[in-house]
Structure 1
Amino acid sequence: MNLKELLHKHFGYNEFRPGQKEVVEQVLAGKDVMALLPTGMGKSLCYQLPGYIFNQPVLIISPLLSLMQDQVDQLKKMKEKRVVALNSFLDVSQKRMALQTLQNYRFIFISPEMLVQENVREKLNSIKLSLIVIDEAHCISQWGFDFRPDYLRIGEVVGKENRPPILALSATATEKVLGDIERYLNMKEPYTYIHSVDRPNIHLGRRIFQNREDKLDWMLEHVSKTEGPGIIYTQSRSKTEKISERLLQLGIRCASYHGGMETLDRQFIQQQFIEGSLDWIVATNAFGMGVHKQDVRQVIHESLPSNVANYMQEIGRAGRDGKDALALLLYSDADEDFAKFVGMDDLPTEGHVDRYMELHFQQLQPGMMVQNGEISETAFRVLAYWMHQLPAHEVKEKLSSMKTGKIKAVEEVMELVHAKSCMREKLVHYFGQTLNAKPSDCCQCCGLSIENIILPRQTTEKNVQEESFNWKDRIKNLLLQT
C-alpha cells in the first residue's frame, strides 16, 4: 500500500497538503527532519501517518496541557485508542499504570518537564521508540533560555545512541531559531522543509492612538460593529477581565482567559469558543496554541506582542478555513515601555545570582529563595538551570544578554508599528524569506479597507447579560449531570 492509499485509509484525504508528503518520506527513511509548515497546514499528520506504519510507539513532546489534550481528543475521535498523555491531569495511580504499559501505546504525548523526570526517563529508555517528535519546536529557542529551561534538556534525554529519528515541527522559525533547534536536539544533518510563513488570507491592519483610553474605546466600538469569532490579545491578566466585562456590557458573547485561572475553567471556556457559544476571547498569550477553530475571523493585539515570532504565531490562529481574516495591531503611547517591562519582569537578576551563590556556600538549599518570596518559581528554574551550566560571572553575562534580546525583540515589533512600506513584506523578511505576491487589501501600508474583509455584526435579540457566564456554576451543573 503506497502513501496515498494509507493517507486515505487512515485520514480520509485523497491528497497531501504542501510539504506533508516530503516530510513523511524523510521520516520513513530514518532521517532527522525540521519542518516549518504554516498554522492549519496539518503538521500533526507528519507524525501520525508514520505512526500507523511503524510498529513501535511515537513520542510527542508538546508544550501545553491544552494542546496535548486536544491532540489526544482528535486521535480518539479517529477511533485511535492507543494514545496517552503523560501530564498533571493523571493522578498518581493513573500515571503509574500508564508508565507500566507505555510500550503498548501508539502515540505518547509528554511535556518537557515530565520528560526529564527520572522515573519517566528510565521507562522511556527501556522501550523502543519509532520516532521522537517535538511539536511547536520553536519553543526550544523562544522559551528554553528564559522561561522553561527543560526544553534545553530534551537533547540530553532523547540523545542516546541508536535513537530513532527526530521530527521538529513548527509554523514559524528564524534561521537563529532553526539553529537552536538543531543544536539543542543534537540533530544529525537534518532534512529541512520550509514553507512560506505568509498567510495571504490574513490581512494586516494597524491603528495608532494618542493614549490607551482612545485605543480601548476604538476597539470596543470596532468589536461591537464587526463579525467574529475573534481573539483579543493583551499582556495582563487584569486587562483580560476588564475588557471582557466591557464587551459583555455591549452584548458581546465573550470571556476572559489567562494562566491564573483554574485549568477546568480554561478548558471549559476554550471549548465554548470552539463550539461557537462564545464569539470572542480576551486572552493573554496563554491562549491559542493548539486551538483548532477554523473560522476565527479576527485577531486583535490590544497590547504589543513580545516579539515578531509570537505575533506571527498568534495572528496565525485566524483564517484556518482559508477565508479572509483580519489581524489588527493596536498601539498607543507607553505600550513599548510596558512590553519591555513585561519581557524582563520575570528574568533572574544579578542579585539573584549572588544570593544563589551565598546560599550554596553556606550549604543551604537555594530553593529557599522561592519559599522566602525572593524570586518567582519560573525565574528560579531559569536561574538554577544556568547556574548548573555556567560559572556565576558567565550566568550574569547570559542574563544581561537575555535582557538585551528582550528589548531588541520589542523594538523589532515597533518596526511593524511604524512601517511605511508593506507590513507583510517586513514579516516575511524577518523569517529570512521572500514575499512572492501580495493579496488585495494586503495591509495598512498597502491600502487596507477593513469593510472589504470583515462583515458587519449581526445583532440578535438575545440578552447576553442573562446568559450564565459564571463558568464555575456551569461546570458544576455539567458535573451534576454526569
Structure 2
Amino acid sequence: MKLDQLLYESYGFAEFRPGQKEVIEQVLSGRDVLALLPTGMGKSMCYQLPGKVLPGAVVIVSPLLSLMQDQVAQLKKMGEKSVIAINSFMQPDERERVWKMLDQYRFIFIAPEMLVQPYVLGKLKGIGISLLVADEAHCISQWGFDFRPDYLRISEVLPALGNPQTLALTATATDKVTDEIQRYLKLNDPFIYVHPMDRPNISYNIRKFSDEKEKLEQLLTMVKNYGGPGIIYAGTRKKAQELAGRLLEQNIQAAFYHGGMEQQDRIFVQQQFQNKELEWVCATNAFGMGVHIPDIRQVIHYQLPSSIEGYVQEIGRAGRDGNPSLATLLYVDGDERLVESLVLDDLPERHEVELIYSAGAEAKQLVDQGLVRETAYRILIYWRERISMEGTLNQMELLKKEKLRQANTIRQLVHCQGCIRMFISASFDQETPVVPHSCCSFHGIDYDLFKANSQKPTANSMSSWQERLKAILPI
C-alpha cells in the first residue's frame, strides 16, 4: 500500500505535511532517523504511521506525563485503541493488568526513568519492539546532564530491547545539540532531516524598560489590547503566581502553572486552557509540552528564557493555525542576572560531589538528611558510576561554562541591533529566512493584526469549577 493511501485510510488526511513523508520513508526502510520539525508540523505522525506497518510495538520515550496523556488521547481520538502510557501514577492493580496485556499494545509511552528499570525492561523485552522513539529529543542534551540523567541511559538499554531501530524527534536543536543527540542515542548512520524552523506568521517583539513597574504596566497593556489565548513565561514559580494574580485583579481569566504544583492541579489548569475556560496561563518553562492549542495568539516572556533553544520552543506554541501571532520579550536592565543564577542553581556544588563520592551505598541518605539536593543526587550518581570525582568536578565546570554561554546568547538576542528573525535562524545555523510582513520590532510590527477580540472570557463571567460541576452532575 502506498503511504499516501495509508495516511488517508488511517487518519483521513489527504496529504502529508512538509517533512513527514521523507522521515516516514526512511523509518520504514529500517534506518535510524533524527528529524527536526518545527512545533505544529506533526512530528507524532512520523511514528504513528510506521506503527501501522511495523511488525512489533513502538515504544515512545516521552519527558512529561501531560505530554504522554495528550498523545495517548490524540491516538485514541483517531481510532487507535492499542495504546498505553506507563507511568508512576498508575495504581498497582492497573499496572499489573497492563503488564499482562503488554504484547497487545501497538504504541507504548514511557518516561526515561521507568524505561531503565530492570523489571520494566524485562517486560518490554518479551513483546518484540520494532521502533524506539525519543520524543522531544533535545531533552537528551538540555536535561540529561543536569536535570534528568536517565535520558543519557536510553542507549544503554537498547541491547536489552533487541537493539530496535531508533527515531529521534525534536522541534529545535542547534548543531551542537544535534551532535549530542546522535552520540548519546548511539544512532547508526542516521538519516537526518532538518526543516527550516522559521515561522513567518510569528512577529518577534523585544521591548526594553527603565524599571519593573513600567514593564508590568506594558504587560497588562498588551494583554488587554491584543488579547489571547496566550502564555506568559516567568523565570520563577513565585513570579508566575504573582503575574496570574495581577491579571485576575484586572478581571482577566488567568491561572498560574509550575512544577511545584500537584500533578492533578497542573493537569486541571492545562485542561481549562485547552477548553477556553482560561485566556492566559502564567507559567515557568514547565508549561507547554503536550499543549496542542492551534490559536494561541501571544507568547510573552516577562523574564528572560535560559537558552535560545528554550525560547524558540516556547514561542513556537503560538500561531499553530498559521494566523498572525505575537512573541514578545520584555526586558529591564539586569534581568540577565536572574537567568545566570537560575541556570547554575541546579548544578551540584563541590561539597555535594565530595559527599556523594565518599558515601558509597549510603548516598541516598544524604538527600533524606538534607545534605545533598535531590537533583544533584541524580546527576552525581550517574557520573559516579562512570568517572572519578575529579572527572565529575571537571564535568560540572564544563556544564557551568555551557550554561553561561547559553545565557549570553539570550543577552545577545535582547540587545540585537538587527533583524530578530535572522538572529534566531543564525543561532540554529540555518539559512537566512525571507523577511515577512510584520517581521519583528527591528523591521516594524503591524499591531493591528493582533487587536483583541471584544468577546473574551473574564474572571467574573466564568463560573467556578464547583458551579460547573453542579450543572452537569445530579445532586
TM-score, normalised relative to structure 2: 0.96
Residues 17-65 of structure 1: per-residue CA shift (max 9 Å, x gap): 1111111110111000000111000110010001111231111000100
Within-5 A mapping of 1:209-220: 209-220=209-220
3-state SS, counterpart of residue 394 of structure 2: helix
Q: Is the CA contact (8 Å cut-off) linking 1:30 and 1:164 kept in structure 2?
A: no
Moved more, 94-103 or 108-117: 94-103
Residue correspondences, number: 475
Task: Determine the C-alpha separation between the residues in 2 that align with 1:144 and 1:437.
Answer: 35
Q: Residues of 1 paired with 2:275 and 2:358: CA distance?
A: 53
The residue correspondences of 1:167-206 to structure 2 (distance < 5 A) are 167-206=167-206
Q: Which residue of 2 aligns with 1:409?
A: 406
* Inter-CA distance 201–444: structure 2 relative to 1 (3 Å threshold): same
Aligned-pair CA distance for 1:266: 1.1
Identity among equivalent positions (%) equals 48
CA RMSD of aligned residues (A): 1.8
CA distance 1:292–1:239, change in 2 (3 Å): same
Partner of 2:438: 441
Match of 2:113 in 1: 113
**How many angstroms apart in 2 are the aligned matches of 1:353 and 1:427?**
36
**What is the SS of the residue equivalent to 1:192?**
strand
Once the 2 structures are TM-superposed, how far is the Cα of residue 305 of structure 1 from its aligned partner? 0.4
Cα deviation code 1:454-480 (max 9, x no counterpart): 1134166x76246455x6x57986997
1:76–1:64 distance in 2 versus 1, CA, 3 Å = same
Q: 1:331-386 deviations in whole A, cap 9, x for unaligned?
A: 112210111101111111111111123323xxx61111211112221121011111
Q: Which amino acid aligns with 2:91?
A: D
Where does the alignment leave 5 or more consecutive residues of structure 2 unmatched?
Answer: none
* 1:395-451: CA deviation from partner (whole Å, max 9, x where unpaired): 0011111111111111100111000011111111111111231111111111223x1
> Against the structure 1 CA distance between its residues 369 and 103, is the aligned structure 2 distance closer, same or farther, given a 3 Å change threshold?
same
| Residues 1:453 and 2:421 are matched in the alignment | no
Q: Which residue of 2 aligns with 1:144?
A: 144
Deviation at 1:452, TM superposition (A): 3.2
Q: Is the 8 A contact 1:30 1:165 kept in 2?
A: yes
**Following the alignment from structure 1 to structure 2, what is the Cα–Cα distance between the partners of residues 481 and 428?**
55
Alignment of 1:215-234 (within 5 A): 215-234=215-234
How does 1:48-63 map onto structure 2 within 5 Å?
48-63=48-63
Task: Indicate conservation of the 8 Å contact 1:137/1:169, yes or no.
Answer: yes
Query: 5+ residue gaps in structure 1?
Result: none
The residue type paired with residue 269 of structure 1 is V
Which residue, out of 453, 461, 464, partners 2:459? 464
| Deviations 1:217-238 (CA, angstroms, capped at 9, x unpaired) | 2101221222211000001111
CA deviation after TM superposition for structure 1 residue 213, in Å: 2.0
In structure 2, give the amino acid aligned to 1:219.
L
**Counterparts of 1:28-177 in structure 2 under 5 Å?**
28-160=28-160, 163-177=163-177
Name the CA shift for 1:116/1:251 in 2 (closer, same or farther; >3 Å): same
Contact 1:318 1:326 in 2 (8 A): yes
Task: Return closer, same or farther for 1:76/1:337 CA change in 2, 3 Å cut-off.
Answer: same
Q: 1:262 and 2:262 equivalent?
A: yes
TM-score by length of 1: 0.95
Query: 2:324 matched to which residue of 1?
Result: 324
C-alpha distance after superposition, 1:135-166 (max 9, x if no partner): 10010001001000000000001245852211
Q: Decide whether aligned partners of structure 1 residues 474 and 62 sit closer, same or farther in structure 2, where only a CA change above 3 A counts.
A: farther
- Look up the equivalent residue of 1:455 and give its one-letter code: K
Q: 1:475 to 1:344 in 2, by over 3 A?
A: farther
Q: SS state of the match for residue 18, structure 1?
A: coil
* 8 Å CA contact 1:159, 1:185 repeated in 2: no
